[in-house]
Amino acid sequence: MFKKFLRAVIKINNYGSIDELLCQNNGFITSMQVTQAGLQRRLLSELVAQNRLYRVERGIYALPEVWEDEMYFLQYRFSKGVFSNETALYLHGLSDRTPHSYALTFPRGYNSSGFKKYNAKARYVTAEIYDLGISEKLSPFGNKLRVYDVERTLCDIVKGNNTCDIQLVNHAMKEYAFSKEKDMSKLINYSEKLRVKPKILKYMEVLL
């Protein structure tokens, strides 16, 4: 009887350890983290069976409220990714189009192995401009995402290799031009560093 009680106490403590790991990782947990914590991986299967966890993909599990947040999962899976271009426009409220696929920018040379199988597209930039304008926004599910700020995004969507729809670009520029939160000095500074100053000035001269 005592051994049965002891096993029950151990299991409760182990579940508590899993909960701590989930809190530390914003609702995600991996099989490797469970092993490193000295816990048995079968605990994850038990929690999945109880609908307390969902198996996102091999080796990665999440709480039910986090599992549905596709954008947050992408960021968790590819930690160097920064939401950019049309996806950033959507997050900043400069586009009312829900992205069909998510755009993320990575530093050149980053190993994004397996990225192609997701509903997303990758851009790669040099280390000198990768960090420029990284900020935070909440996903539609309320989780923090790394996203380029508005000024960086406007510069990105007018670059020569950009594929954003021209109507989407025009709408975003117009919304920004009439926004009380616009920062023209930052926009011009970014446009110089990203070598799109003539294009940005042309848009702003027409709208302002």
Q: Which residues pair with residue 137 across a beta bridge?
A: 145
Residues 55 and 98 in one domain: no
Average pLDDT in the 109-118 region? 82
Which H helix or E strand runs over 104? strand 102-107
Residues 113 and 198 in one domain: yes
7 compared with 96, residue with greater pLDDT: 96
13 compared with 208, residue with greater pLDDT: 208
Tokens linked to 51? 């609908």
List, in order, residues 6 or more apart from 77 with CB less than 8 Å away. 60, 118
The residue type at 75: Q
Residues 91 and 178 in one domain: yes
Residues 52 and 82 in one domain: no
Lowest mean pLDDT among 7-16, 40-49, 169-178: 7-16
Residue 73 lies inside a defined structural domain of this protein: no
CATH of the domain at 36: 1.10.10
Residues 52 and 96 in one domain: no
Residues 95 and 184 in one domain: yes
Residues 142 and 201 in one domain: yes
Q: Which domain holds residue 46?
A: 2-67
The pLDDT, as a whole number, for residue 186 is: 97
Residues 33 and 92 in one domain: no
C-beta separation of 168 from 97 below 8 A: yes
**CA-based nearest residue to 68, from 30, 106, 27:** 27
Average pLDDT in the 40-46 region? 87
Mutual angle of helices 197-207 and 184-193, in 10-degree steps: 150
CB neighbourhood size of 29 (10 A): 25
pLDDT over 70, % of the chain? 91
The residue type at 38: G
Q: SS3 for 117?
A: helix
C-beta separation of 83 from 91 below 8 A: yes
Residues 119 and 142 in one domain: yes
Residues 95 and 24 in one domain: no
- Asked whether the predicted pLDDT for residue 74 surpasses 60, the reply is yes
Residue 13 lies inside a defined structural domain of this protein: yes
Residues 33 and 112 in one domain: no
- Give residue-wise pLDDT tens across range 130-167: 999 999 999 988 888 999 999 999 999 998 766 678 88
Residues 109 and 34 in one domain: no
- Give residue-wise pLDDT tens across range 48-58: 999 989 898 88
- Asked whether the predicted pLDDT for residue 79 surpasses 90, the reply is no
Buried b (16+ CB within 10 A) or exposed e, 146-170: bbbbbbbbbbbbbeeeeebeeebbe
